[in-house]
Amino acid sequence: MKIAVVGATGLVGTAMLKVLEERNFPVSELIPVASERSVGKEIGFKGKTYIVHSMEQAIAAKPHIAIFSAGGDTSREWAPKFAEAGITVVDNSSAWRMDPTKKLVVPEVNAHVLTKEDKIIANPNCSTIQMVVVLQPLHKKYTIRRVVVSTYQSVTGTGVKAVNQLMNERKGLDGEMAYKYPIDMNAIPQIDVFMENGYTKEEMKMVNETKKIMGDDTIRVTATAVRIPVMGGHSESLNIEFEKQPDVTAIKELLAKTEGVIVQDDPSQQLYPMPMNSHNRDEVFVGRIRLDETQNNTVNMWVVADNLRKGAATNAVQIAEYLIKNKLVG
């Protein structure tokens, strides 16, 4: 299985290579791809050295699957060219997520929608991925009416520039700013640009992507997305209203049995999910599960996952694994 990783030298691309190696993905030939300034450089994978390719070189090499993490503009330009060459693209950018002709996939939720004809497959937004992994089994059992979500997102979601800004501020050093404001000792209630309705693009991604992935436009979602000075993972506070009366014990049991979910919920031991403990993990962690005492049929919970892994790299690799297992490529 020839695999191209587009954006191989970036934060998510590096995580993708790590996930491919850890999961023993069947890579017969790796084709790392990056921007022109990185072409010809070397990267390591499974004890071997590989030369970074250009886009044209990657297409000519005819990989079976190309996993993209190189930004929306790059994906819009190049994903169709890969697809035209018969290469299946799993794209991590926002370019194709809401395109009605493209599938938006979280394997635990809706991998069954994929077919051999899908040549560009969209990987959802990181904060949406971890949320729907938890919502899907609850929706099946209780039917979700409304979700109120507040996110507390890692600087790694912005990229290396933001990580450098945080670390420079901690050391008292001047440097390039990823954000308009300092991030250390701060919380910035803006992720991505503001839209006409007063919400940010990140917040509206969560609203629209959730409905598409879960295949249910009746689920109402409202979001507030906040950047905080942490690394390791995104955290989310969820308030979920159901049509049926939920049971906290049953919810914990259901989520404990759900693929890709780990329940950490023991207040007596101060056990709950935290981003520092989700770092480099592929699972979605859930805790603080409790009834909302102000409203019927409603629960609160806290959800944490590593945004570079399950929120990006791991989800994309899992899509590729599903394609291979079900003979949808090659």
Residue 207 burial (10 A CB sphere; 0-12, 13-18, 19+)? middle
201 sits in the region (left: phi over 0; alpha: psi -120 to 50; else beta) called alpha
Q: 224: which strand partners? A: 150
**Which pLDDT band, with edges at 50, 70 and 90, does 258 fall under?**
very high
**Which pLDDT band, with edges at 50, 70 and 90, does 44 fall under?**
very high
Radius of gyration of the chain (CA): 20
Backbone angles phi, psi at 54, to 5 degrees: -85, 170
Q: Report percent pLDDT > 90 for the chain.
A: 97
Amino acid (1-letter code) at residue 213: I
Annotated catalytic, 126? yes
Whole-number Cα distances in Å, 89 to 3, 59, 130, 170, 199: 10, 11, 22, 39, 30
**Could you count the other beta carbons within 10 Å of the beta carbon of residue 175?**
12
What's the token pair of residue 139? Answer: 């929706």
Annotated catalytic, 53? no
Q: Tell me what pLDDT residue 249 has.
A: 98
**Could you count the other beta carbons within 10 Å of the beta carbon of residue 105?**
27
DSSP structure class, residue 102: S
Q: Tell me what pLDDT residue 36 has.
A: 86
Q: Which of 211, 206, 291, 218 is nearest to 251 (CA)?
A: 291
CB-side exposure of 235: number of CA atoms within 13 Å? 19
Q: Is 297 helix (H, G, I), strand (E, B) or coil?
A: coil
Domains and CATH numbers, the chain: 2-124+312-325 (3.40.50.720), 127-307 (3.30.360.10)
* Residue the block writes with tokens 């993490």: 69
Q: Which spans in 85-227 are helix H? A: 107-110, 126-142, 160-171, 201-214
Q: Is the pLDDT of residue 134 over 80?
A: yes
Q: Tell me what pLDDT residue 160 has.
A: 92
Q: Which of 53, 64, 126, 139 is catalytic?
A: 126
Q: What is the pLDDT of residues 298-329, one digit of tens each?
A: 999 999 999 999 999 999 999 999 999 999 99
Judge whether 285 and 275 are in contact, CB under 8 Å.
no
Mean pLDDT of 171-189: 98
Judge whether 220 and 123 are in contact, CB under 8 Å.
no
Judge whether 239 and 148 are in contact, CB under 8 Å.
yes
Distance (Å, whole) CA 273 – CA 263:
8
DSSP structure class, residue 53: B
Amino acid (1-letter code) at residue 190: Q
H/E stretch holding 315: helix 314-325
